[in-house]
Amino acid sequence: MARIVISTIGVRGDLNPFIAIGKGLQARGHDVAFALEPALQTAVADEGFPFEQLTGDVLHALSPHLSTIVGGLTPIGSVRTIARNWLTVELAAKVKDLEAACAGADLLIARAAHLAAPIAAERLGIPWVQVTMTALTIPSAHADPGLIPLRAGRAPRPANRAAWAAIEFVTRRLADGRVNDLRRELGLPPTRNAMGRGGHSRHLTAVAISPLVSRHQPDWPTYVTTTGYCFWDVPSAWHSPKQLTTFLAGPDPVVAVSFGSIAPFAGGVLSPLYETAVGAVLACGARALVVGADREASTLASDGRVLGIPFAPFSQVYPRCAAAIHHGGPYTAGEALRAGIPSLAVPWGIDQFFTAAQLQRTGAGWALHHRRFSDVAARRNVEALLMDGRLRRCAKTMAARIAVEDGVGMLCDAVESVLQRSVQLSRT
């Protein structure tokens, strides 16, 4: 069996699918290790995986810039801030760390926009697989990338091509200079669009989202595969706190509220979204479960109708909720779909506008731009989440269809095909 290194960067929500993949490969007999920034190491250690450290600290890098990341009209502003202050920073050190972690490895698996991964794999001469939780790095004339956030209707193909071209122009300017400076120092040829198509793995680029949500587009390259969700979010040591169990067993409907795993570190930047969401839930006669930002929840109600907790697996709490309000993270939206509950996405940056639009197209949820998330609009949407029978039926239908998918199994099959081709090539 193979030795496989999995490397991702970001916050907790960016890690969970990779733990699912790691467990799936481990169950097939492969030797799996991780290479991670410090913020993610405890989670993989708790699951029994060995790990090596990558240089960098996403929270330290981005905390001073959260007010810029959150609140833009389009994703471009947040992507620009993230690329300049995190993705392209300390890149040489990350490549060095990743090469050390992959010494003797047969394969590297890395997330999209992990700019060190293709460089390290190329220098080591090993195959690598890119896994993405959003198709926003894979242009298609058949898909609207959300440059004009949450516009109604389907855009014509020329408009989509123009929007993708604009995004690629921006990302090339953000990353290609620093990436190619490093590649030149390392004796490697230059690349183009390192944050997008130029950073894909030609061995396999896997979109780890349900094809019901993220359609496999006819003009995607042949190396792109859509696998389905790779769900995992329950740490081995997690047990439901008594207060959570009691709250979920209460008589009135519960609406879960969360705005991303970066929220606890946002220093109040997201507080207006939490206040508006919780206020709307209470105004509709429901109760609010605030996950990941209990500081905001503690100031909003003292009559037991709001519970704020630092963490709870969505797979455990969503099935006991009537609806959810979230930021449009790909896997947060996916957990709501898997639970069969309608949800409202209120995207505030990065790829969330794109995911929110995908959620809305399923018919099992809605999207509302954060700048339109007023008290009146929030209450109107929460009422619909709780009362709209068609929306709720669609959510149940989506849950039944997603339940028969096996994203982890499909991705592991695809990874093993890459390994098999690599062995065959080494013998020729």
Alpha helices for 291-343 (secondary structure H) = 294-298, 314-317, 330-339
Contact between 339 and 319 (Cβ < 8 Å): yes
Q: What is the pLDDT of residue 308?
A: 92
Tally of CB atoms within 10 A around 186: 12
Class of CATH domain 3-229+405-427: alpha beta
- Name the amino acid, one letter, at 248: L
Q: Tell me the sheet residues that pair with 291.
A: 309
Dihedral over Cα of 329, 330, 331, 333: its sign:
positive
Is residue 3 exposed (0-12), middle (13-18) or buried (19+ Cβ within 10 Å)? middle
| Cβ-based neighbours of 64, under 8 Å, separated by 6 or more | none
Q: Tell me which residue has tokens 């959003």.
A: 134
Establish how many alpha carbons lie within 13 A of residue 127's alpha carbon, considering only the half-sphere containing its beta carbon: 23
Class of CATH domain 242-403: alpha beta
In angstroms, the CA 282 to CA 278 distance is 6
In angstroms, the CA 204 to CA 400 distance is 28
Q: Tell me the sheet residues that pair with 205.
A: 130, 224
Residue 268 falls in which region: left (phi positive, over 0), alpha (psi -120 to 50) or beta: left
Q: Which two tokens stand for residue 97?
A: 């760390």
For residue 325, the surrounding DSSP H or E stretch is strand 323-326
Residues recorded for the chain: 428
Q: What is the pLDDT of residue 92?
A: 98
Is residue 107 exposed (0-12), middle (13-18) or buried (19+ Cβ within 10 Å)? buried
Q: By C-alpha distance, which of 233, 215, 240, 246 is closest to 361? A: 215
Q: What is the pLDDT of residue 148?
A: 75
For residue 53, the surrounding DSSP H or E stretch is strand 51-53
Q: What is the pLDDT of residue 301?
A: 57
Q: Where in the chain is the domain with CATH 3.40.50.2000?
A: 3-229+405-427, 242-403
In angstroms, the CA 80 to CA 121 distance is 26
Per-residue pLDDT of the chain (428 residues; tens, 9 = 90+): 899 999 999 988 899 999 999 999 999 999 999 999 999 999 999 999 999 999 998 888 888 888 888 877 778 888 899 999 999 999 999 999 999 999 999 999 999 999 999 999 999 999 999 999 999 999 999 999 887 766 656 678 999 999 999 999 999 999 999 999 999 999 999 999 999 999 999 999 999 999 999 999 999 999 999 999 999 999 999 999 999 999 999 999 999 999 998 887 777 889 999 999 999 999 999 999 999 875 555 555 567 899 999 999 999 999 999 999 999 999 999 999 999 999 999 999 889 999 999 999 999 999 999 999 999 999 999 999 999 999 999 999 999 999 999 999 999 999 999 999 988 877 76
For residue 131, the surrounding DSSP H or E stretch is strand 128-132
